[in-house]
Structure formats: C-alpha cells, structure tokens
Amino acid sequence: MHPRFYDFEATFKATTQRGSNMSTSYSSCYHSTTLSTHSLLLSHPKASAFHPSRFPNPSFKFHSTNQIPQTHLRIMSQKPSQVLGGKVEVGETQEGVSKGPMIDFHGIDEGLVEKMVYDALVWSSLHGLLVGDKSVQRSGKVPGVGMVHAPFALFPMLFPECHWKQAYELAPIFNELVDRVSLDAKFLQDSLSRTKKVDAFTSRLLDIHSKMLEINKKEDIRLGLHRSDYMLDEETKQLLQIEMNTISASFPGLGCLVSDLHRSLLNHYGESLGLDSKRVPNNPAATKFVEALAKAWSEYNNPRAVILLVVQPEERNMYDQHWLSALLKERHNVSTLRRTLAEIDAEGKLQPDGTLVVGGHEVAIVYFRVGYAPINYPSESEWRARLLMEQSSAIKCPSISYHLVGTKKIQQELAKPNVLERFLDDKEDIAKLRKCFAGLWSLDDSDIVKKAIESPGLFVMKPQREGGGNNIYGNDVREALTRLQKEGSEADAAYILMQRIFPTASHTFLMREGVCYKDDTISELGVYGAYLRNKDKVILNDQCGYLMRTKISSSDEGGVAAGFAVLDSLYLT
C-alpha cells in the first residue's frame, strides 16, 4: 500500500506548514497561535468559533438528548483534559497508546455531538464513504470485505467564499498552463536536467519523455485530470498554492460524499447549531471527472474500447476509484478495466497501428491511479508497462509530459520571473497565477540558502520524491542545507526550497475507525480541474469541484505517527 492513496497521514502530503513546536518560536513572524478564525467547533478556552460575527444564530439551545447507545461511541481529545460525563469510553489514540479518559466540550452539547457522530457513521456506511480496513487482510484486494468508513471531519471547515471562488477561477488557467508547458519539451528537459542527475525516478520519467521525442510521438487527444492544492496563509490572508497534481489526483470519488454528509447533518442539526446547510457548496468532483473521462472516451471513438484504470496491487482507497467506474458504467455505459503496472506488462500488447490492447480489450484511455512515485516501480516490469502505454495511441491521463509538468522542480521554475509569460498570453491570467505562488527557490540560489539556514522555520525543503512524508522542516532544514553545502555535490538538485505557509489552526472533531477525536487542525483545499483537447479543439477546460483535507496540526509531515488527516468539506463564510 502506498501512502498517497489511503494513508491519510501521508496523503496529506503537501507542506503542512505549521508544527506545534515551531509555532511558538516563529510566532513573531507568522501568526500561528490564533486559533479561532477558521474553527467551526471550537472548545479552546481562548476563543469561540460560534462568535456572532460568524454565525447568525450562536445560541446553543440543544435538546439535552442522547439518541445513541451510551457505551458504544468513543470521543477523544488528543490533549488530556477532564472527562465531562460518564458516557465516553477510553480509546486508543492513533498512535495506539491510550491517553486515558479525555473529553473537552466547551459550549457544545455533548449529546448533540454524540448523535451527530452516530448519524455520520451510519450515513457513511449507507452511502459508500468507505475505505479498506488495513487490519483486514483482503481489504485492499477484494471489494466488499474489510470495509470501514473513510476518515472524515464531523463538521465542514469554515472557509472564505472569496478564496474558494479564487481557487475555482484558477483551475482552468492552471489546466491551460499544464498543457502549454507540456508542449515545450526543451523547457521540461532543461529544467529537470540537474534533477535528473541526482533523482533516479525523475531520470526514468525523462528517459521515457526523450524516447517519445525521438519517435516524434503525437498526442492528438490530451486529457488532464488535475488537482491544485492550496493553503490559506494566516498572516497575509492569501491563498497560496502548495502543489499541482497532474497524476493520480485522489479522492474525487469520496471527497464529494463528505459535502453530502455535511449537508445532511446540517439539514438535521443546523438549526441547533445556527448553521445553514446551503453554505456547504455542492461538490461535483466525481460526476465531473467521470464526464471528462466519458468525453475523452467519445473522442477516442470506439464504442468497444475501455478505460484502463492503472492501480496498485493493494488499494485500500479502492472505493474512491470504484465510484468513478460505477458512474462511468451507469451514466455513460463505459467499461473500466483495473490492472496493475505488472499485469499490464504481462498482458498488454501494442498493435501495429499503436492500439493498446489489455486483457483482450482495446484501451481508449489509460487513467493512472498509481505510477507517481518510485515505490510504484519495484522492478523493470512496471517501467516496461509505463513505456508501452506511453508508446500507444491510447489517451494517457496523464501523458509523460503532463506528469513532468507536475514535478516540484517545474513548479519552482514556473515561479521564476518572466517564465509564465513564455506559456500564457493573457496578462490577467498570469497575474492570477502569480498571486497564488508561494516563494519557491532552487538550492543553487545561495542567498536564499543562507536565509534558510538562518531562519529554517520559514522554509520547507521539498524533494522531488512524491507520495508525501518526505518534506524537511524546522531545524532539519538547517542541518540538511549545511550538510549539502559541505558535501558540495549536485545532491542539492534533488530539492527545492519553499516558503513555509502558516495556515490557521482550528479545533475540529475528526472521525477515524468509529472513534471521534478532537484536536487542533489545519486544512488544505484542493480544486480539481479537467482539460480535454483534440488537436486544436479545446473540448473541456473547467474546475471539477473540490477536496478539503483537515489534519492534526501538531504533526509535521515527516512524522507518520504524529497525526492524521481526514476528508472534509467547506462551510463558506
């Protein structure tokens, strides 16, 4: 199992920009201790999220009821605090260590939360908001067994409507940018030339890219299913891009269900909470991705061809993918074929005209839900499969060039002055993109390396390696940079430096494995985008809904055990 798909600790792989140990040291520069503004449910004694300025009806006139069996649900806080009632069982934390009885409900009716927890768990089960349970052996291979609800936040996260709209507006511009950059093979090869020397994975991708250039491979139909991830910087109130995912963007299938879940909860409990379910925006991620896939499939123009879903051998996030396959079948009568890279290597064939045939089926689209990280290529077999598919006339989602555009190095290169202008014409579009760029630097910029050694808390070091869990924060930044300087090798080309973003922390209820946890969290907004072009004709270029992920904020990305992330939705303010 690779972390990107199911391990929420690691899937929340973007720069989680505030570690609890850091926030104190650097709070003079970056206001990271204000805990109130984005919290929907806040029991922190310093602040109340239900401030009248945020909610029309801040009163808590709950019925003091408890509609659930009292001994079955566990609600826990990450922080030890007093037990307020006898109804809460002691559970294990995500680290597997019991921290004793902990519950901390200030201002919100405990019975109401318990009812919502129960209803939310039921809703998830009945509506397919599921993942495989890693404690059940077959849960990553066989559907229908070893299922558990996907981790989710009990309440939607407050988010300013203007920033949400801004992120939506950016989606088609980024879609176009990816397409334009992908056409500039020299830019890609040159930008990644130093990375290639020190990063074997990028090197292999570039090799495939080079081979396609050599054979002058044409890609008439170009399909991009992207997700651009953002955080809201607390001090500047700016929406800043974390990264652009051009391959295997996950959770279009499950993320939209969380919006439905939150609307359902607010329909029933919103009045008591003073919250309006209409403020949770509809999230069409699954249907829009499926529409894009179906449109691309139509462009391929063979009603017997299938969509090949390239998957991991074990995939506990399979239901996220099954939602897309099910919708493709039900609404568009398009069949999907699930295969691992190794299976494609064994079964796949290219016909003389370039047609890709797998398992006896002509493949219209290769839709990658794996293949973005070195761990996905344990042997030459997987690389052979990747090359085979790239050589074919199937539509690749993504093509090797789209994949390369999504690397961190290219992200950093695009942030350099006058680079966007090479690819886009519209000055307004360029300004919009630039506005969401965080500071991004190469390690051959000695001034910035000096600054980062002086103030490592203001930077994140990001390696090319994908999949999360690889970023370097805090004093580790200083150590890593100092070591690289001493070594004087090219190894620094494997990293970029990024401005550290300090998003607002909130108190949140997080649901995992049937247990409700309460802790400080930060959130990251992803906006899906779909782009489809056939030769000169742009058929589709649109936003496709959103993904909100909320994560315990005391954990840097590096520590898998330090916290966990859940699926979330937005409450527009």
Residue ranges binding a copy of itself (CB under 8 A):
63-73, 118-119, 121-128, 130, 133, 136, 138, 141-149, 264, 268, 306, 319, 322-323, 325-326, 329-330, 335-340, 343, 359-361, 511, 513-514
CA distances, 68 to each of 153, 269, 283, 525 (Å):
19, 15, 30, 33
Annotated active-site residue in 9, 219, 234, 243: 243
Smallest distance, a copy of itself to C-beta of residue 116, A: 13
Active site residue 243: yes
Whichever of 148 and 461 has its CB closer to a copy of itself, that residue is 148
C-alpha span between 273 and 85 (Å, rounded) = 21
Task: Identify which of residues 118 and 402 has a Cβ nearer to a copy of itself in the complex.
Answer: 118
What torsion do the CA atoms of 310, 312, 408, 436 make, to the nearest 10 degrees? 80
CA-based end-to-end distance of the chain: 38
Q: Is 563 in the active site?
A: no
- Tell me if residue 549 is catalytic: yes
Give me the helix-helix angle, 475-487 and 446-454, nearest 10°.
140
* Backbone torsions φ then ψ of 143, nearest 5 degrees: -70, 155
Work out whether strand 440-442 and strand 74-77 pair parallel, antiparallel, or are unpaired.
Answer: unpaired
Closer to a copy of itself by Cβ: residue 159 or 323 = 323
Which residues pair with residue 149 across a beta bridge? Answer: 130
Q: What is the DSSP string of 229-247?
A: EEEEBTTT--EEEEEEE-S
Task: Please say which residue, 138 or 450, places its beta carbon nearer to a copy of itself.
Answer: 138
Q: Which is closer to a copy of itself, CB of 111 or CB of 224?
A: 111
* Sequence-ordered list of residues with C-beta below 8 angstroms from that of 338, at least 6 positions apart, any chain: 309, 311, 321, 325
Minimum distance, C-beta of residue 135 to a copy of itself, in the bound complex (Å): 8
Helix (H) or strand (E) holding 251: none
- Pick the closer one to a copy of itself by CB: 123 or 174: 123
Please identify which of the residues 77, 182, 228, 245 carries the catalytic annotation: 245
Measured from the CB of residue 314, what is the shortest distance to a copy of itself in angstroms?
10
Which is nearer to a copy of itself, 31 or 361 (by Cβ)?
361
Beta strands in 408-536 (DSSP E): 440-442, 459-463, 495-499, 506-512, 515-534
Q: CB of 64: closest distance to a copy of itself in angstroms?
A: 7
* AA letter at 434: R
Name which of 148 and 178 has its Cβ closer to a copy of itself. 148
CB atoms within 10 A of CB 561: 12
Comparing CB distances to a copy of itself, the nearer of 237 and 268 is 268
Catalytic, out of 139, 250, 506, 523: 250
Written in H, E and C, the secondary structure of 377-425 is CCCHHHHHHHHHHHHCCCEEECCHHHHHHCCHHHHHHHCCCCCHHHHCC
Angle (deg, nearest 10), helices 252-273 and 285-300:
150
Decide if 466 is catalytic.
yes
What is the 3-state secondary structure of 128-164? CCEEECCCCHHHHCCCCCCEEECCEECCCEEECHHHH
Measure the CA–CA gap between 212 and 494, rounded to whole angstroms: 24
Structure tokens at 490: 């090219």
Nearer to a copy of itself, 306 or 532 (CB): 306
Distance CA 260, CA 152 (A): 12
Residue 128 CB, shortest distance to a copy of itself, in Å, is 4
Minimum Å gap between C-beta 340 and a copy of itself is: 7
Contact at 8 Å (CB) between 231 and 310?
A: no
Strands 506-512 and 495-499: unpaired
Alpha-carbon span 265 to 362, nearest angstrom? 44
**Residue 408 designated active-site:** yes
**Mode of pairing for the β-strands spanning 515-534 and 537-552:** antiparallel
The answer to whether residue 176 is catalytic is no
Contact between 491 and 484 under an 8 Å Cβ cutoff? The reply is yes
Annotated catalytic, 288? no
Would you report the helix, strand and coil content of the chain in percent, each value rounded to 5? Answer: 40, 20, 40
Residue at token pair 């310093």: 46
Q: How far is the CB of 363 from a copy of itself (least distance, A)?
A: 12
Extract the runs of DSSP E, i.e. beta strands, from 198-275.
221-232, 239-245
- Give min distance, CB of 277 to a copy of itself, in A: 13
Which is the catalytic residue, given 408, 409, 465, 478? 408
Q: Nearest 5°: phi and psi at 185?
A: -60, -35
Catalytic one of 18, 54, 74, 227: 227
Taking the least distance from each CB to a copy of itself, the nearer of 133 and 276 is: 133
Please state, in angstroms and rounded to a whole number, the distance separating the CA atoms of residues 443 and 166: 30
Positions annotated as catalytic residues are 227, 243, 245, 250, 408, 462, 466-467, 549
